[in-house]
A and B are shown apart, each in its own frame.
Chain A
Amino acid sequence: MNDNDELNDSAVLSAVRDSISGLPMPTAPRLEAITARGRARHRRRLAGVWVASVAACAALVVALAGGWGSAGPAPQAGPAPQARPAPSHHATEVQLAAFSVVADRDGSTTLTLGPGQMINPNAVRQALAEHGIPALVTAGEFCRTADQPAPGVGDVVVLLPHGLRYVGSGGPLPRPSIVIYGSRIPRGVKLSIGYRQDAQDREISFTLIKAGAPLTCTSMPDHGPHGDDGPQG
């Protein structure tokens, strides 16, 4: 990178800064509004802890009964995972902590990934399938098809706070919760879930793909038709 490049880089960043800085910004809300919002959130969280505890217990009971982290109001009596080696007791515990799939009252499904655990993509895929969600789940790579089917993935997947990408800063990784509206996935379309985790960084990416279409998989998520986040040769 030479001086001209530096200058150009600077000019580009300045253009971005000036463009945004020139905009009139809304004045800050009253502090009381922020703290009230925080208190309301705190109350919701306390209420949610109880609900989540019940759901977690249900997930554990179902999982111990033979499921793989999948729980719902009416667990399906589908076939047990095929072609899966009988897990050791220890492996089962890890798998149970790795994720849970819980049906919500509004027809959505919540996928929660445990902190610090590697998920078994096939187990997640199967658990989602039991909830009527066709999915491709990949670990360490992010797959998409050339065309993104409508609707956008944002209409199908809602990430709860801190859900999509959380970078640890020494503290424990939170549990990303992903609310999936399976009924909004059109026929012939699948939800592609890519998952990557290392010691400090966890990244989950979602996109809708056409079932049966050729896949392009990269080690980094491609965020759009012109995404350039992947490695370049």
Chain B
Amino acid sequence: MNHEQTEFAEFFQASWEPCLRAVVASTGSVQLAEDQVAEAFARAWLSWRKVRRHPAPRAWVVRTALNTGVSWWRRRTRELPLAGHDAVAPRDMDDGLDTALLTALRHLSDRQREVIALRVFLDLDIDTIAGQLGIAPATVRVHLSRAVSTLRHELSPYQAMEVD
């Protein structure tokens, strides 16, 4: 195994789980995220010379994974129950994900989910996220603020329980 292969192997081992969690947060499915992240790492392997020089290689993987699944999410959002009418959990929610969280996440736009994934699970700061997404830091803040506002509203019963 040459130096680049060793480097990629280390990156893969260290980054698999955080990237997977970030994509799970955005796609709402562990199973789907697993496939998307595997695909993204396969592409990272193909483009490793470029990715290794990327300022945030994990973000590259997450964005690549998310780009493969946007249409799926849109289809899924139509299948998820509306807030307040989710007495029956969707059939494929049995991978342990919190239905309330999923319902909340579905109210976010793709971009907002992307910002959440990069901010929360990759611990990227606003400026780095802005650089990754090619948008202004102020725009990232707006997306983050709106996302948090929506999540707070959707998750409010759970927040109240925690405070109490």
Which residues of A pack against B, CB within 8 Å?
1, 8-9, 11-13, 15-17, 19-21, 23-26, 28-29, 31, 33-35, 37-38, 41-42, 148, 152-155, 157-159, 161-169, 200-201, 206, 220-224, 226-229, 232
Contacts and interface: CB of A to CB of B under 8 A. Distances in A.
Contact of B25 (A12, A16, A159): A16
Given A31-B12, A153-B74, A200-B134, A15 B159 contact: yes
A15 B155 contact: yes
A37 B38 contact: yes
Given A159-B70, A168-B134, A200-B134, A38 B152 contact: no
Contacts of B112: 228-229
Interface string B13-53: 10011001100110000100010001101110110000000
B42 A16 contact: no
A35 B48 CA distance: 11
Q: When A and B form their complex, which 10 residue pairs have the shortest distance between CB atoms, in order from nearest? A: A154-B75, A167-B134, A229-B109, A28-B16, A37-B42, A38-B42, A38-B45, A200-B134, A223-B109, A152-B75
B134 A169 contact: yes
Give the one of A16, A24, A41, A169 with max B CB within 10 A. A16
Contact of B132 (A12, A167, A206): A167
Given A23-B24, A41-B46, 18 more contacts: A12-B151, A15-B159, A16-B151, A20-B25, A23-B95, A29-B38, A35-B45, A42-B46, A154-B74, A161-B43, A164-B70, A165-B110, A166-B67, A168-B134, A169-B54, A223-B77, A229-B109, A229-B111
Nearest to A1: B145
Nearest to A45: B46
A16 B152 CA distance: 10
22 contacts: A8-B148, A12-B148, A13-B120, A13-B148, A16-B105, A16-B120, A23-B21, A29-B38, A152-B78, A161-B67, A162-B67, A164-B110, A165-B67, A165-B70, A166-B67, A167-B133, A168-B134, A169-B134, A220-B109, A223-B77, A227-B107, A229-B146
Contact of A154 (B17, B43, B71, B111): B71
A226 B110 CA distance: 12
A28 B159 contact: no
Contact of A167 (B135, B151, B152): B135
B101 A37 contact: no
Contacts of B43: 38, 41, 161
A113 to B, nearest CB: 15
The B contact surface, by secondary structure, is helix
Contact of B68 (A26, A161, A206): A161
B-side interface size class: 35 or more
B70 to A, nearest CB: 5
Contact of A224 (B12, B17, B107): B107
A20 B21 contact: yes
A34 B42 contact: yes
A99 to B, nearest CB: 19
